[in-house]
Structure 1
Amino acid sequence: MATISDLSKGNYVRYNGEVMQIEELLHRTPGNLRAFYQVKMRNVRNGKLAENRFRPGDDIEILRVETREYQYLYADGDTLVCMDKETFDQVYIDKTLLGPSVNFIKEEVTLLIAFENGTTAITAEAPSHVVFEITYTEPGLAGDTATRTLKPATIDNGSEIRVPLFVNTGDKIKIDTRTGEYIERVK
């Protein structure tokens, strides 16, 4: 066990039985009162934010978290199969770890996966941008770039997104995996 004063931003801790990541840590000494730590933590499983005050001597369990890069191979039901590029070991992670960005990843993309004690995956992060090809959209209109009007389009993994009017079937586009929004056309 460690004390609150050993924490820093980005550490993973076990708080009330849940795995939390420290987002903000402030040491406060108000007037003639005792000092305390104001801690903001985010639950890695459901994303909820928790805030609490701790005394400087309070104990807390700091988790040993190891982050490694894995290559996404394929989806198998509600799990994703990923492979370590160096040892070729395969791991199975839950799709919910990626959140909404799971709809915008494709095979052979590199994921950043964090493991608690080297065994249990607690977080997974997709690359911020990926390139997809448009498989179907209504025909584009030449020269229509003045307004930010969007139309539906289907990308090559089957997901549907909104793209500007000038994008045509067969175009390659860059997508933000966190929001699923169109960024730009790629040559």
Structure 2
Amino acid sequence: MATTADFKNGLVIEYNNDLFMIVEFQHVKPGKGPAFVRTKLKSISTGKVLDNTFSSGVKVTTARVERRPHQFLYKDDMGYHFMNASTYEQIAIQEDLINAPKFLKDGQEVEILFHAEEEKVLGCELPQHVIMTVTQADPGVKGNTATNATKNAVVETGATIQVPMFIEQDEVIKINTVDGSYVERVK
């Protein structure tokens, strides 16, 4: 059990028979009336974000969530298969639990979130940035470089992203897995 004074970003609580992660919170003390805590809660099962207000000092049930490092092995009709780096145990996860499955490549390190009491998989998070090789890029048209013009490029996992005009085939780039955007060229 915890109170609203224990709130912090990333804390997982049980609320309305579901697990929610606190994305953002703010203690508010109005001039008139009792204090309260305004929060943004993200459902771990559905990914939906909802705004909620708790009275100050109210008790909430926290859930113990563990992040364990795993390595991506392969994908088949059973799902995406990962191996725990320390115990060598393998687990299969469905695509909807992975935050950016189009950027998974063989041998990539990820973090899998487990509900510690139930040993249930809650999600799989890739690192914020991944490094990929461009396998196919549309040719850049001369004269289009005055503005922030972009073109389509296909990376080694088959995902198509928008890159600047100067990126060519076989170049190595860094990609943001949160929104799938180009970050920079890797030397």
Task: State the TM-score bracket (shorter-chain normalisation).
Answer: 0.7 to 0.9
Q: Distance in 1 between matches of 2:95 and 2:102?
A: 10
> What amino acid is aligned across from residue 110 of structure 2 in structure 1?
L
TM superposition shift of 1:33: 2.8
Q: Distance in 2 between matches of 1:8 and 1:181?
A: 28
Aligned counterpart, 2:86: 86
> What amino acid is aligned across from residue 177 of structure 2 in structure 1?
T
Aligned counterpart, 1:60: 60
TM superposition shift of 1:65: 1.0
Unaligned runs of 5+ in 2: none
Q: What does 1:1-187 align with in structure 2 at a 5 Å threshold?
A: 1-31=1-31, 33-56=33-56, 58-77=58-77, 79-99=79-99, 101-117=100-116, 119-140=119-140, 145-187=145-187
TM superposition shift of 1:83: 1.0
Please say which of residues 51-60 and 161-170 is displaced more in the overlay.
Answer: 51-60
SS state at 1:103 partner: helix
SS state at 2:102 partner: helix
TM superposition shift of 1:124: 2.0
SS state at 1:152 partner: strand
TM-score of the aligned structures, taking structure 2 as reference length? 0.83
Structure 1 contact 28–36 (Cα < 8 Å) conserved: yes
Unaligned runs of 5+ in 1: none
Q: Which runs of 4+ in 1 moved over 6 A?
A: none
Please say which of residues 4-13 and 167-176 is displaced more in the overlay.
Answer: 4-13
TM superposition shift of 1:117: 1.7
Structure 1 contact 9–25 (Cα < 8 Å) conserved: yes
Structure 2 contact 78–92 (Cα < 8 Å) conserved: no
Change (3 A) 1:26 1:151: closer
